[in-house]
Structure 1
Amino acid sequence: MSSTGPSVGSARRTFQFGRTHVVRPKGKHQATVVWLHGLGDNGSSWSQLLETLPLPNIKWICPTAPTRPLTIFGGFPSTAWFDVGELSENAPDDLEGLNAAAAHVVNLLSTEPADIKLGIGGFSMGAATALYSATCFAAGKYANGNPYPATLSAVVGLSGWLPCARTLRNKIQGVDEAASRAASLPILLCHGKGDDVVPFKFGEKSSLVLTSTGFNNATFKAYNGLGHYTIPEEMDEVCAWLTSKLGLEGSSSS
């Protein structure tokens, strides 16, 4: 696997990220969105889906996570943005992995033109990484204290959850700029009620935690009967939402 630019990580651990796939805009380039795949997947499969969406003004960047031993798989390696021991509200968060993944996303966005709006989206573990990035943007820093340099205009999380939910209030409250950034950042969460991998209650709880900590522009959409996958109805919602929040031109005018 090739590394995209310098490997991102701390002095203790360096993460080798996989191949990045880019879908170039078919119309006028107005926004760039990094889209993060789920556990065991790669950037290629999502780039193929995103290329079919009626969003000609968006450039999609679809990176591939590092391959690493996963605790939830008994140490068996898989592509993953961070380590997961169990899916529960009390499970410890892999802050080192989360910070490295969020920094990798920022690195991918760092060369975009100044007038381009920036967004992050993802599915499952990718959604969790996108939501973690949203909290770093609001706080103005990663969990390790390093400054978060990107300015985000939209965050999308499908079938995911919010890492570090227990400490989010402390991260945002008491910092005026953080509160205003949290309040103004548009976030779309979508979750299927039939999800047997990341339970629906995780998505619902994540939405409640975000809104209760001042992310007033967060929207939660539930889908009856939807499992741990996407459907056209959900992607239509994502397209309409991104077009609105990013102020994109309609496909007819591009």
Structure 2
Amino acid sequence: MAAVRKLQTCASSPAGKHTASIIFLHGSGDTGQGLRSWVQDVMVSDLSFDHIRVIYPSAPARPYTPMRGALSTVWFDRYKISRDCPEHLESIDTMCSTLGSIIQDEVNTGIPKHRMVIGGFSMGGAMALHLVCRYHPDVAGVFALSSFLNKDSVAFQAVEERLRTGLSLPDLFQCHGTSDNLVLHQWGEETSVLLRKTGMTTTFHSFPGLYHQLSQPEMELLRSWILNKLPPTTSF
């Protein structure tokens, strides 16, 4: 078996003892450093915590079909940007394995998975949903900002099967701007509805006037949700 490719990452270290971790995935064409800089621009105090390490991985450059095969830093390929087409499962599953090594690295440092939250912006949010719903459902929570899943996503099937057999899943936190492409906002809301119908606990926040971008009110709401999922603690 080929070795799992290591991703480049940057991170925001906690001010105090490291007892929890966030993995925050960027959107298509961006990098971990680019997302971190964007977060710093949006939030006066950065997305920083006394006890939580925030990790920003970078997707490797790969040919991206919606860009006619041009190289782009994307988490997976798409046949086209549509909710109606099949998912490119080969690239999604490969990246789930690659990102799993980052989760394992955190476990190796002593952070249990129930003290981790995974999420992302745009394509990063979709990637986080696949990663959590299908492979790492024992994390503390998952968030998706300006994101959607294809309507027949295998992630829906994984959630339904897990809950049908009495197994739990983390809560989902979603945000989407109403001034984003109208169809994209609709797709994001429909993703939340479909996951809720399968039995997953979801929260969806619409932000009037927000385009396909991050905003301070959105990020402050996310910060509060994260602290609820990963409160300060002296023990696990």
**TM-score when scaled to structure 2?**
0.84
* Shift, 1:27, TM fit: 2.0
Instruction: Choose which of 149, 162, 165 in structure 1 pairs with 2:149.
Output: 162
CA distance in 2, matches of 1:129, 1:67: 16
Local SS of the residue matching 1:237: helix
* Shift, 1:71, TM fit: 0.7
CA distance in 1, matches of 2:99, 2:138: 12
Where does structure 2 lack aligned partners over 5 or more consecutive residues?
none
Instruction: Choose which of 31, 46, 55 in structure 1 pairs with 2:35.
Output: 46
- The answer to whether residue 54 in structure 2 is matched with residue 70 in structure 1 is no
Are the structure 2 counterparts of residues 66 and 235 from structure 1 closer, same or farther at C-alpha, using a change threshold of 3 Å? same
2:167 is matched with: 180
| 1:1-49 Cα deviation digits (max 9, x unpaired) | xxxxx853xxxxxxx5652112211122221111111111001122333
CA distance in 1, matches of 2:188, 2:131: 16
| 1:62-89 Cα deviation digits (max 9, x unpaired) | 1110111111001111000000222212
Instruction: Choose which of 160, 180, 184 in structure 2 pairs with 1:199.
Output: 184
CA distance in 1, matches of 2:59, 2:183: 19
Superposed CA RMSD = 2.4
Local SS of the residue matching 2:210: coil
The letter for the 2-side match of 1:246 is L
CA contact (8 A) 2:84 2:150 kept: no
| 1:156-195 Cα deviation digits (max 9, x unpaired) | 110011246444454344556864323xx12101111111
1:241 is matched with: 225
Instruction: Choose which of 201, 206, 212 in structure 2 pairs with 1:222.
Output: 206
CA contact (8 A) 2:179 2:212 kept: yes
| 1:126-151 Cα deviation digits (max 9, x unpaired) | 011011112214xxxxxxxxxx5x73
- The answer to whether residue 139 in structure 2 is matched with residue 152 in structure 1 is yes
| Identity score, percent | 30
Alignment of 1:114-125 (within 5 A): 114-115=111-112, 117-125=115-123
Instruction: Choose which of 55, 58, 74 in structure 2 pairs with 1:61.
Output: 55
Bigger RCO (CA 8 Å, 6+ sep): 2
CA distance in 2, matches of 1:198, 1:62: 28
2:193 is matched with: 208
CA distance in 2, matches of 1:68, 1:198: 26
CA distance in 2, matches of 1:167, 1:76: 27
Are the structure 2 counterparts of residues 174 and 104 from structure 1 closer, same or farther at C-alpha, using a change threshold of 3 Å? closer
CA distance in 2, matches of 1:181, 1:26: 32
Where does structure 1 lack aligned partners over 5 or more consecutive residues?
1-5, 9-15, 138-147, 250-254
**TM-score when scaled to structure 1?**
0.79
CA contact (8 A) 1:36 1:43 kept: yes
Local SS of the residue matching 1:220: strand
